[in-house]
Structures are given as C-alpha cells and as structure tokens.
Amino acid sequence: MSEKLLVPDIGEFERVEIIELLVKPGDQINLNDPVVTIESDKSSVEIPSTVSGKIESINVKVGDKVSMGDLLLSIETSKESPSEKPIPKDTESIIKQAESVLKNEKKEETIQQKPVEEKKQTIIQVTNNNDIDPLETQDWLESLSAVVAKDGNQRAHFLIKELINKAYREGANIPYTQHTPYINTIPPEAEVKSNGDQNIERRIRSLIRWNAAAMVVRANKKFPELGGHIGTFASAATLYDVGMNHFWRAKNNKFGGDLVYFQGHSAPGVYARAFLEGRLNEKQLDSFRQEVKPGGLSSYPHPWLMPKFWQFPTVSMGLGPMLAIYQARYMKYLINRGLIKDEGRKVWAFLGDGEMDEPESLGAIGLAAREKLDNLIFVVNCNLQRLDGPVRGNGKIIQELEGSFRGAGWNVIKVIWGSYWDSLIANDKTGHLVKVMNETVDGEYQAMKARDGAYVRERFFGKYPETQELVSSLSDKDIWRLNRGGHDPHKVYAAYDQASKNQGSPTVIIAKTIKGYGMGKTGESVNTTHQTKKLDVDDLLYYRDRFDVPLTDEQVKNVEYFKPDEKSLEIKYIKEKRMRLGGHLPERTTYSKPIKAPAKDIFDFMKVSTGEKEMSTTMALVRMFTNLLRDKNVSPRLVPIIPDEARTFGMEGFFQKIGIYAHEGQKYEPEDSAQLSSYREDKSGQVLEEGINEAGAMSSWIAAATSYTNHDIEMIPIYIFYSMFGFQRIGDLAWAGGDSQARGFLIGATAGRTTLAGEGLQHQDGHSHLIASTIPNCVSYDPTFHYELAVIFREGLRRMHEKNENIFYYITTMNENYSHPSMPKDKNCEEGILKGMYKIKEFNRYGKTKIQLLGSGTILREMMAAAEVLQDEYQIDSEIWSVTSFNELRKEGMEVERYNLLNPDKEQKVSFVEQCLGKTEGPIMAASDYMRMNSDQIRPYTNKSFYSLGTDGYGRSDTRQNLRKFFEVDKEHIVAYGLSVLAKEQLIASKYAKEAIKKYNIDGSKPMPTKL
Ligand SMILES: Cc1ncc(C[n+]2csc(CCOP(=O)(O)OP(=O)(O)O)c2C)c(N)n1
Ligand SMILES: [Mg+2]
C-alpha cells in the first residue's frame, strides 16, 4: 500500500524552502526517520516520516518552497490496515507516563500507609497564654500521640493536613506555619545508631582538628600575609568526620562515587584528614597557601590548582549550592537518558549559614524539590556567625532556613541539640525549656558560648523558674557541657542516615554548631573568630588540652603536627573506614573515553556559498547542530542547554527531534501537539530547557562540561544564550567553570552591540569577548561566515572532546541575515581562522596607496563594503582581514613577546599578527562590534600604525544602520576614518578625509558615544 507523506503543520510558516533531501527512491526507512529538511528565515527543521517503508517517489527537490499539506514523497508500506497502525509516538508516551505515574502514586500510597516503628513519644505541652481550654488541647494532643504511636508519622501528617483543609473550607483563616519547634527533627528514640567506635573516632577527630589548625598557624608564622581559617573547620569537624567515616562512598571501578562539595574555607580540615590517611605529607601541609611552587596546597578547593584532589570550586559563596543542585539534577538526567547506571549516588553540599544569604544559595532550591532530587543532601553548618558577626543576631537562622526549605518542599532535618540535652528535653514536662529555646535569639546563643556555664545558667535557664529548676542539679561545668547537635556524632549520624534513605525529595540538614569550637577565649564564638589565623602558645596549649592531643608543651610551642604510627589503632581505623567506603575522598580522576570528532566533511555544506540565500550565523549554527545530530558518536553526547530562548534562536525543531528533558515525562497534551515543532517533554529528553534562568543553565553546563570526571562520561554541552546575559550575568560561574576544567561550548547568540538592533541598552553586548578573555582557558571567537563557524566548531570538538584539552569555547553568533561566501581556497585559510585572522580579500587595482582593514563579526562586512568605496571613489587599495578572534591573537602575541624578551640571545619569534601584517603595506585600521579594547588587544604585536573603531558606550534600540552610524562602525564612517588615517600617516592629502566627513554628514563635534 502506498502512503503519501505531506508537509505537516509547521505553524505560521508558509512557502518554506527545502534545503536537504535525506532520502532517495528505493531507500528503506523507518517511522520517524527524517526525510527532508526545511528552512524558514528563522530555523531549519527535519520532517520525519510518519510510516515505515520504501521510498517510491520524491515529489520535491532542494530549493522548492513548500507549505502545509504539500506532497513530499510517496512511501510503499506493508499492507496493514490503518487500524493496525502503531499508536502515535506521542500518545504512546502519554499512556506510558500515565501508567508510570499511577504506579508511582500507588507506591507512594503504600509508603505513606506503612506505620513507622513504634516509638515512645513525649508530649511537649508548650504553655500558651492564648489557650482558652487547656483540657481540650490536651485531648487533641493525646489523640495525636495515639495516632503517631499506632499508625505512624505519615498518618498523623495526613490527618493534620485533612484538618487544615477542612478548616479552610469552613472559613477559618489559618496562618501557614513554616516552622517546627526549636528542637531536633529526629527524636532520640528514632535515632539510628552508628556502629563506629566513638572513642577512636573522637581521637581521630581531635588530631584532624589539631593538624588543621597547626597548618594555618605554621603558614602564618612563616609568612604572616598568607591568611587562612581555623574557626570554620573547628565548627564543622564532626559534620565532615561522620560523613568520611560512614557515609561518603568514593569512586572506584565498581561504583561511580558520591560527590561532596566541601565548604571552601574548611579546606584545612580536608587536608588534615588526607594527612592522616597518608595522602599528604608534612611538607605538603607546610606548603598550605603556597601554591606557586608545585606541590603546594591550594587555599581553597580549586580543581585547576590541585587537579587530582579537588573536584568542585566552592569558595565563591553561593555558587556551591547552585552547582550542587544542578549536579544532582544532571545526574538524574544522565540516568534517565540511559547514559549512566542508577547506583544511588548522592550529592552532598556543605554550606555556611552566612553563605545562605547569597541569593544564589536559595535561588534554585525550588527546582531541587520540583525535580524530586532525593540524591541531594545539603548540610548547612549553622555556627550562627559569618565574617563580621552574627548571621541573625535578632532572629534564628535555623528557623528561617527551615521555613524556606520546607516551603520549597525539601525534607528538613534540624540537628540543634546534642545528646546531653536529651534528658533535659524529656523532663521538660511543662514545655518551658522548648519555650526558652524558641524565644532565645541567635545573638544570645552566640554570646553564651563565648562565656561559661554560669552565664548560661543565668541568661538561658534563668528565664523561667521551671527551666531554672530543670538544671538545679547540674553544675556549671555540666551546663557548659550541654553540647550542640552539630558537634554530636550520634545526632549527626542519625541525621545523615535518615537523609541518605529519604526518597522523593532533597534533604537539608541544618546543624547548629559553634564557630571556633574548642578555640577558647581567643577564638570560640567571638565575633572575630572568622579571621583568627594566629594562636599564641596559651591558645595552643588550651586547644591541645581541650582535645587531648598527645603532644608535649615543647611540641605545642613548635606547633608540630601529630600523626600516630601507621600501625596505631587510629590510623588503621581511618584507613579501614575509607577502604570500606571504596577509597579516598575528595579525589579527582577521569576514566572517560574521548569522543571521536566527526569526519571533516560533516560540515562541508557550510564551506560552499549560500548564494542568494541569506542567513544569520545563529541559523548556520542550528543547521550545524542538525547535522551533528546525525553523527552517531557525537549525537548522544550533545547536551543542548537553553534558557527559554529556543524560539529566538530557531531551535524549536529540537523539541520534537530530541525532546526536552523532564523527569516526569509529559503529563499533558501540548497545545501545539499537531505541529512539527510541538513542545515535547520526555523523561529521556536531551535538551535542558532551563526556563529564564541563566545561572541555572550555566550550572547545568558546568555539570555536563565536567561529566568526564564526575561521571566518567565525556559529554558535549552547548549552552546557547543571549550574549549579554552570558558572561556579564554569570561571570563568576564561568570563572568557576574554568577552574573546574569544564569542556564544552558557550554560544553567545544575538551578539554584537549594533547587530542586535531593536533591544536597547541592557541587551546589546559589546564586551562579552573582553570578559571571556579574562578566563585563561576560555577560547573565544567572533566569526562572520558560516565556514568560519564550521571550522572553529569542529576544532573545538576535536580539541576538547577528542584530545581532552581542558579548555572551553565561547563563540558569538549573530541574528543579522546575509549571504555567506564559499570558503577561500587558500590552504592557510583554515589555520588562519583558528589562529584568529586570515586575508579574505584584496583590492589591488591602483597600486598607489594601501590600507590594511581588519574586521570581526558582522562589522567585517561593513569593512568589505567600505573597501569597495575606498577603491572605487578614492583609488585606495586595501587588504581585508577577517579577524575571527582578537583574543586568540593577543594570547599568541603575548606569548611570543614574552619569549623574545626573556630570550634576548635566541632567534626571535614572530607573532602571528606580525606574520600576517608585518610585510604588508599601509597602516592598519581594525573594527568590531565590540569595544575598541577588543581590537586594541593586538596593537602591541605589530610595528605598524594601528587604529581601532568600536562600539564603546551604552547600546540603545534603533535600526542596525542607525546604530552603526551612532557608534561609527558603518561603511561610511569606516571610509571617512580610513581616509583620515591615511592622511595622518601622510599618505594622502587631508582634504579627502575632510570631504568624506562632509559628504557622509559626519559631525566632528559630536561627543564620544561613551558620553551619550
Ligand atoms: C561571594 C563571596 N563573598 C565573600 C566571600 C568572603 N568570605 C569568605 S568566608 C566568609 C564568611 C562565611 O560565613 P559562613 O558562610 O557563615 O561560613 P562559616 O565560616 O561561618 O562556616 C566570607 C564573607 C566569599 N568567599 N565569597
Ligand atoms: Mg557561619
């Protein structure tokens, strides 16, 4: 039976050009195989076959214009009746999704109904002055306790939810409560106990504490300028130790490894443990913060500086939380796409309570809950202090964070009080202790730990007779010993255990600690703790005694490290624990296989002229992607990342072709389901459509770009954004990407100050290349023509993903439509494109006066047009150079200059700029759609006179032509400036310049655009 394949619904487009035929008569094709590619003036899309069979005839050819309903081709299919046709893919996936959701719901129900283990519940009756009927209250509370005891927490939760719903329906305006009382989330009877040897673990922890402090103090004794932090790790030691001894599994040949984001300035503690584990030696500890000589330990976690140790740069606060969230999401993406196994790996992120004030820290927590990232655990170390003072002196950071995370849908575990408090809380029959706990603000909590037990008795327990009574039998010393949850390994263990088992939501553990724990008068809980990096002998002796470190006074005075013998119980224990957990952590390794770059001819279609057809480089890029998706090595590894601009860039064709990643699939039939580019979400979708969220998209890009080390699979992330909202918006993340040795493409689309015409000041980018140039391993290009883009992109694939160079690419693409010429035949052209410049055209008609014109991006075309005017109207010859990257030229020039200066007696090298321009005639004039500084970068590497034009100043919306005129980079200005340059160089009379300025109505007294 013969089926006719017609042009499907392609939205608003009509008479769209066929640019490729992907099949020929006689070909056997399968359902959904692409058969032709069509291209509108904005995007190109493949049309898939709706049936399987053999191509009988093709009714169209390349260049034809088609609209919806036009016949494309006929396919001979097997003789099944239409009713036997397979269910359309969409419908099938909707059914599957629905089924899986039903299954999930069932599963959830069974979990909910499962009663929790029976445990003794203490009813805490908080005295409440508003209680008009305490007996009735008691009744309700007792009923609730009975439900918890009989049917478990979930049932109790369900009943409460139903009660609230009912109350709303009855008209009661119940305020939403974000908080639970200021006590631990896990009651003592529900705590899972550690099987570790607490005595040994305490001794090990004390040694780690000591060595961490010693390395900071020793470094500062030698070089007081070096800095460092003691107080942060002192507060977090238990939080790390419990994880290291019991929870965090390393990567090895059997398991992919948990990923731990260490809080940046707790690095000394991580080194100190590595020292005990035998991974670092004393000499290395003594090189803390002395990173220039090889072997030094980096101040903070920097994979660039310690590539075999650190995995995640976290010290720029706020980036760690976001990166960890998107890392966990990316892990699920890889699993759902079938690229890695689901091994139950976790992402742990350690954060400071002060750090949580960074908008980025909380900015993505909604996504974590929405995506049900139960592979993610945040641990917020609430030592109540940041650098200058209390995080929330007048409030309670733990409660505030609880509210934010609960509101966002996280599983929240508060670890506030240590085990010594358990009996006090159990005896708090009147609820006054919890009342005091709730009422005391962080400023008071901090002050108490800077004082002593007597002070705590008076200021805390002394608030009510009931609480005073509670501690009447305790000495001041006992009161002082009442520990905080984050310093109690039992409480921390129980929290980690529960967090690790939690399903369906991310977990945050909010742990209360003391900044500078154990540092005594100089450093414990005082406002200056953060910057304490020197401890005098008395402080050190106190610290030793506080943690029973087996060092003599003399050794303490010398601030010696302490490492027990290899055969000691401690060392054996610490090693054995790590062995059980699969190896060392942190450790950065890579076992991924390179991706073979596609054959060179895959982009050949971009090396021939587009003829009459005009297109933008953004569109050329999308065409290139479409081709890449046909390369079997590359295709599955591509990770297109878009922050809600796919349609702007003409990429909507990808929605159907490769799908948008959605962990729940698509639960709805999209409004545009009949259309070819319908919005298709899929559990195994490939596109990461991040919504309006550049920072999130960049975090996804970093996760994918470091996939080769964190997941041992090389991926090719391509993040395409509005160029202005790239480096400028998320520069710090881009820097962290460089530090992480990210490999992938950043595409700054709609680039160029005058090329993006109508959008205005905040949209028009004239400087992203300069920001990109600040990142040492970022390779950036500003191509004009499609063949340049093809050469650059393929080389990027080869260098990064086949040769595994630790670089990343930034390429700008534009939205200006023009026709693209064929690639010049010159054999050096490709080399020039990659090094940054090549001669694209030469005007030699007159042989009198010459000028060298260097143009970049869209402004190259203004240069070419200007050169024609110069020749035709002024008899000026010129050579035109397409500069694909001023940044790359500068890097090479700098290196050559440096070599020459440092090797005055050796044969002097010649920079590539000089190789190109050194022997040419006439002065140089360069222009781009970026600030003059962009082209000025190569000024030092040539001996010729050099002039720059550029788009310095704020952008504004107008037509391209008017903008180029305003910024003086249009053809007319280039002609006038060119003549002026030649006059200044005394190569022509100045009257020509003057005439041109007049002719083009250029106002010489107009202020510089930077002042307008
Ligand atoms: C973006 C950013 N701003 C400022 C700093 C400097 N800084 C380093 S640590 C710190 C205080 C950290 O306080 P907190 O997050 O509470 O961590 P703690 O040391 O108390 O555990 C500051 C301001 C930084 N590292 N990153
Ligand atoms: Mg803090």
Provide the token pair at 326.
């998107």
The Cβ of residue 22 has, within 10 Å, a number of other Cβ atoms equal to: 16
Q: Are 364 and 403 in contact (CB under 8 A)?
A: no
Provide the token pair at 814.
């534009």
Q: Which atom of ligand 1 is nearest to the CA of 351?
A: 15
Half-sphere exposure of 50 (CA within 13 A, CB side): 17
Q: Which atom of ligand 1 is nearest to the CA of 355?
A: 15
Q: How far apart are CA 696 and CA 688, in angstroms?
A: 10
Q: How far apart are CA 584 and CA 65, in angstroms?
A: 62
Question: Ligand 2: distance of its center to the CA of 512 in Å?
Answer: 10
Q: Which atom of ligand 1 is nearest to the CA of 315?
A: 25
pLDDT at 53 over 80: yes
Q: Which atom of ligand 1 is nearest to the CA of 732?
A: 1
Question: Ligand 2: distance of its center to the CA of 673 in Å?
Answer: 50
Tell me the backbone φ, ψ of residue 385, rounded to 5 degrees.
-130, 155
Place of tokens 């917020």: 380
Q: How far apart are CA 875 and CA 780, in angstroms?
A: 36
By most ligand atoms within 8 Å of CB, the mutation choice from 317, 524, 527, 531 for ligand 1 is: 317
Q: How far apart are CA 231 and CA 481, in angstroms?
A: 19
By most ligand atoms within 8 Å of CB, the mutation choice from 355, 357, 380, 381 for ligand 1 is: 355
Q: Looking at residue 560, what is its pLDDT?
A: 97
Q: Are 559 and 282 in contact (CB under 8 A)?
A: no
Q: Looking at residue 93, what is its pLDDT?
A: 57
pLDDT at 112 over 50: no
DSSP states along 536-594: -HHHHHHHHHHTT----HHHHHTT------TTSHHHHHHHHHHHHTTS-SS-----PPP
Provide the token pair at 130.
């508003």
Q: What is the pLDDT of residues 432-461, one digit of tens each?
A: 999 999 999 999 999 999 999 999 999 999
Q: How far apart are the first and last CA of the chain?
A: 70
Tell me the backbone φ, ψ of residue 513, rounded to 5 degrees.
-140, -175
H or E segment and range at residue 731: helix 727-739
Over residues 365-382, the mean pLDDT reads 98
Q: Looking at residue 121, what is its pLDDT?
A: 46
Q: How far apart are CA 718 and CA 431, in angstroms?
A: 57
Over residues 588-606, the mean pLDDT reads 93
Q: Give, as one character, the DSSP assignment of residue 417.
A: B
DSSP H helical ranges for 114-183:
134-151, 153-169
Q: Tell me the torsion sign for CA atoms 796, 800, 802, 803.
A: positive
Question: Ligand 2: distance of its center to the CA of 353 in Å?
Answer: 5
Share of the chain above pLDDT 90, in %: 84
Strands, E assignment, 411-469? 411-415
Q: Which atom of ligand 1 is nearest to the CA of 515?
A: 20
Over residues 595-621, the mean pLDDT reads 93
Provide residues with CB under 6 Å of ligand 1. 232, 235, 265, 315-318, 352-355, 381, 383, 385-387, 391, 515, 530
Q: How far apart are CA 815 and CA 757, in angstroms?
A: 9
Angle between helices 198-222 and 267-276 (to 10 degrees): 120
Q: How far apart are CA 533 and CA 212, in angstroms?
A: 11
Question: Ligand 2: distance of its center to the CA of 732 in Å?
Answer: 22
Provide the token pair at 895.
């290196």
Over residues 711-725, the mean pLDDT reads 97
Q: How confident is the model at residue 173 (pLDDT cuts 50, 70, 90)?
A: low
- Which amino acid residue places its CA nearest to atom 19 of ligand 1? 232
Q: How far apart are CA 644 and CA 611, in angstroms?
A: 32
Angle between helices 569-580 and 267-276 (to 10 degrees): 110
The Cβ of residue 211 has, within 10 Å, a number of other Cβ atoms equal to: 26
Three-state secondary structure readout of 896-932: HHHHHHHCCCCCCCCCHHHHHHCCCCCCEEEECCCCH
Among 597-601, 659-663, 747-751, 931-935, the range scoring the smallest mean pLDDT is 597-601
List Cα–Cα distances, 451 to 448, 479, 518, 794, in angstroms. Answer: 5, 12, 13, 65
Question: Ligand 2: distance of its center to the CA of 204 in Å?
Answer: 24
Q: What is the pLDDT of residues 540-561, one digit of tens each?
A: 999 999 999 999 999 999 999 9
pLDDT at 310 over 70: yes
Antiparallel, parallel or unpaired: β 34-39 and 53-58: unpaired
Q: Give, as one character, the DSSP assignment of residue 636.
A: G
Provide the token pair at 454.
């007597």
Q: How confident is the model at residue 169 (pLDDT cuts 50, 70, 90)?
A: confident
Over residues 621-648, the mean pLDDT reads 94
Q: How far apart are CA 782 and CA 582, in angstroms?
A: 46
Over residues 701-718, the mean pLDDT reads 98
The Cβ of residue 906 has, within 10 Å, a number of other Cβ atoms equal to: 9
Q: Which residue has the higher pLDDT, 118 or 217?
A: 217
Q: Are 946 and 889 in contact (CB under 8 A)?
A: no
Is the peptide bond between 1007 and the residue preceding it cis, with omega within 30 degrees of 0?
A: no
Q: How confident is the model at residue 572 (pLDDT cuts 50, 70, 90)?
A: very high
Q: What is the pLDDT of residues 312-338, one digit of tens each?
A: 999 999 999 999 999 999 999 999 999
Question: Ligand 1: distance of its center to the CA of 616 in Å?
Answer: 45
Among 70-74, 159-163, 571-575, 740-744, the range scoring the smallest mean pLDDT is 159-163
| Nearest one of 743, 867, 751, 728 to 805, comparing CA atoms | 743
Q: Are 427 and 470 in contact (CB under 8 A)?
A: yes
Q: How far apart are CA 224 and CA 229, in angstroms?
A: 13
Q: What are 509's strand-pairing partners?
A: 379, 413
Q: How far apart are CA 274 and CA 281, in angstroms?
A: 9
Q: What is the pLDDT of residues 958-1011, one digit of tens each?
A: 999 999 999 999 999 999 999 999 999 999 999 999 999 999 999 999 999 999
pTM confidence score: 0.92
Average pLDDT, the chain: 93
Q: What are 311's strand-pairing partners?
A: none
The Cβ of residue 588 has, within 10 Å, a number of other Cβ atoms equal to: 18
Q: How far apart are CA 210 and CA 30, in angstroms?
A: 67
Provide the token pair at 846.
């007159």
Q: Tell me the torsion sign for CA atoms 426, 427, 432, 436.
A: negative
Over residues 331-355, the mean pLDDT reads 98
Question: Ligand 1: distance of its center to the CA of 380 in Å?
Answer: 13
pLDDT at 124 over 60: no
pLDDT at 165 over 50: yes
- Which amino acid residue places its CA nearest to atom 12 of ligand 1? 386
Question: Ligand 1: distance of its center to the CA of 960 in Å?
Answer: 45
Q: How far apart are CA 456 and CA 461, in angstroms?
A: 7
Q: Looking at residue 43, what is its pLDDT?
A: 81
Q: Are 947 and 877 in contact (CB under 8 A)?
A: no
pLDDT at 714 over 60: yes
Over residues 824-841, the mean pLDDT reads 97
Q: Looking at residue 100, what is its pLDDT?
A: 56
List Cα–Cα distances, 160 to 135, 164, 176, in angstroms. Answer: 19, 6, 13
pLDDT at 833 over 90: yes
Q: Looking at residue 536, what is its pLDDT?
A: 86
Half-sphere exposure of 837 (CA within 13 A, CB side): 29
Q: What is the pLDDT of residues 467-491, one digit of tens each?
A: 999 999 999 999 999 999 999 999 9
Greatest CA separation for the chain: 107
Q: Give, as one character, the DSSP assignment of residue 1011.
A: G
| Nearest one of 328, 337, 313 to 640, comparing CA atoms | 337
Q: What is the pLDDT of residues 750-800, one digit of tens each?
A: 999 999 999 999 999 999 999 999 999 999 999 999 999 999 999 999 999
Q: Looking at residue 177, what is its pLDDT?
A: 75
Three-state secondary structure readout of 496-542: HHHHHHCCCCCEEEEEECCCCCCCHHHCCCCCCHHHCCCCCHHHHHH
Over residues 513-529, the mean pLDDT reads 86
Cα angle 805, 806, 808 (rounded to 5 degrees) comes to 105
Q: Looking at residue 157, what is its pLDDT?
A: 87
Q: Which ligand is nearest to the CA of 267?
A: 1
